Every structure is written in structure tokens, then in C-alpha cells.
Amino acid sequence: MPNLLLVDDDPHLLEVLRFALEQAGHRLRTASNGVQALRAVAQQMPDLIVLDVLMPELDGTEVCRRLRAEGHRVPILFLSSRADEIDRVLGLELGGDDYLAKPFSPRELVARVKALLRRAQPAPVPAARQLVHGRLVLDADRFEVDWAGQRTTLTPAEFGILRTLMRYPGRVCSRDSLMDGTYEVHRLVSDRTMDSHVRRVRAKLAGLGAGEVIETLHGIGYRLGPCT
């Protein structure tokens, strides 16, 4: 049973979410502020932290920053009553793995937690030259991508973009980082060109039945979502 740490200063919400997560088969510890959360982590590292952003004493973003500064890679799911894109981006850039805006249903929280726990498990790598993320498999020797048994080929530029996204699933990759992962020799490539490459990768994945697994954060970059 996964061991979760649930951190929120709203006692009613804390009990509602505790019930939902325990019903889904998780072991729970709770904290009502950031200071308590850090103490709980020091006592026992959880498999995942559900972390409210706006809390007294020490807010969620500072808790995340400190954990990442200490090298802890535990998955963190942010909860916040602020749904602005800049707040979501800030949380992800600080090292958060997902962001859920209030109000939300307990069922959605349980689904997000399950998805993060799946992503945190070591991905099976059939061969040294393959990357695997859920049902998505990238073969570096053939410049091919496979989705649930369906296969297509990629151009070198498309391969570099998808390889970079698959190396950091769930994290936002800027156009510059995608460019660095795409071209062996540094080249100045316009944002429009990179966007065109991404559109082609999306189209090929959609043709395999993968849908919109590459997400756009306008003005920031791209992110590879769950491939389940």
C-alpha cells in the first residue's frame, strides 16, 4: 500500500480527502501546515505528497523548494484555490509534479495520485536504446515510436523532441531545451519552426491513437502528459 502524506490547513477538506484516499487503498499521514509536513517527511519519507499551496507558517511552494533543495525526489501534487496559469507554472518549475485547482472532486484527486504513483515507478526498458513512458515506447535505433503495438517513424528533429519530453515526463520543457535535445550542433531555430516540429509529432502520435499526450503551456513550452 502506498504511503501518502496529505497536507492542508482545512480540517474538513483534510478528512474528506483522507477518507477518499484510504478507500482507494492508500496509507495516510496528515499535516495541517508546512512545518508539520517537513517534520513528517523527516520521520518517514512518503511515496507521494499531496500539498496545499496556501498554508500558515510555511506555504506549500516553500516546502517543495526545500525538499527539492535537499535532493528529495518524492512526487508532489499541489492543491490550490488559485487556478491562474502562472501559479501552476511556478509550482511545476519549483519541482511539483502535478497541480490541482480547488474546488475538485475527491475522485479526481484519487485519479491524479494513482497516475503520479505509476509514473514514479521505474519504467521497464526492453533495450538499452529504448525509452518507455506508459504505453509510449521510443526506439532510438530505428527512429520509431510505438503506442500500444501501433508504430510510426520519426524524422531526426521529431525524434529529438520526443526523446527530450520522454526523459522528463510531466515536466515543462522550454523550446530552448527541446532545441538542445534536437540538434547535435547548436543552431538558432525559430519558435515557429519548433512549434511545427511539435505539431508533426502530435499528429503522428494521434495517428497511433495516443491523442493529445503532448500538452502546451502557452509562452512556456511543452509537457508530456500521462500515457496510459
Q: Spell out the domain ranges in the chain.
A: 3-120, 130-224
Residues 151-193: pLDDT tens digits? 988 888 888 899 989 888 888 888 888 877 676 544 455 677 7
Q: Where residue 127 falls among pLDDT bands split at 50, 70, 90?
A: very low
- The residues, ordered by sequence, that sit 6+ positions from 207 with a Cβ below 8 Å of its Cβ are 152
- The residues, ordered by sequence, that sit 6+ positions from 212 with a Cβ below 8 Å of its Cβ are 202, 206, 225
Residues 60-106: pLDDT tens digits? 999 999 999 998 889 999 998 876 665 667 677 778 888 888 889 99
Res. 124: pLDDT tops 60: no
- Classified by CATH at the fold level, domain 3-120 comes out as Rossmann fold (3.40.50)
Residue 13 φ/ψ, nearest 5 degrees: -60, -40
Q: Where residue 125 falls among pLDDT bands split at 50, 70, 90?
A: very low
Residue type, 102: K
Burial of 181 (0-12, 13-18, 19+ CB in 10 A): middle
Categorise residue 80: left if φ over 0, alpha if ψ from -120 to 50, beta otherwise: beta
Q: What is the pLDDT of residue 87?
A: 62
Q: Where residue 128 falls among pLDDT bands split at 50, 70, 90?
A: very low
- Classified by CATH at the fold level, domain 130-224 comes out as Arc Repressor Mutant, subunit A (1.10.10)
Res. 220: pLDDT tops 50: yes
Two domains, one topology: 3-120 and 130-224: no
Q: Is the dihedral of CA 190, 182, 148, 151 positive or negative?
A: positive
Coil, helix or strand for 189? Answer: coil
Instruction: Please give the mean pLDDT across all residues of the chain.
Output: 85
Give the lowest-confidence range in 32-36, 93-97, 194-198, 220-224: 93-97
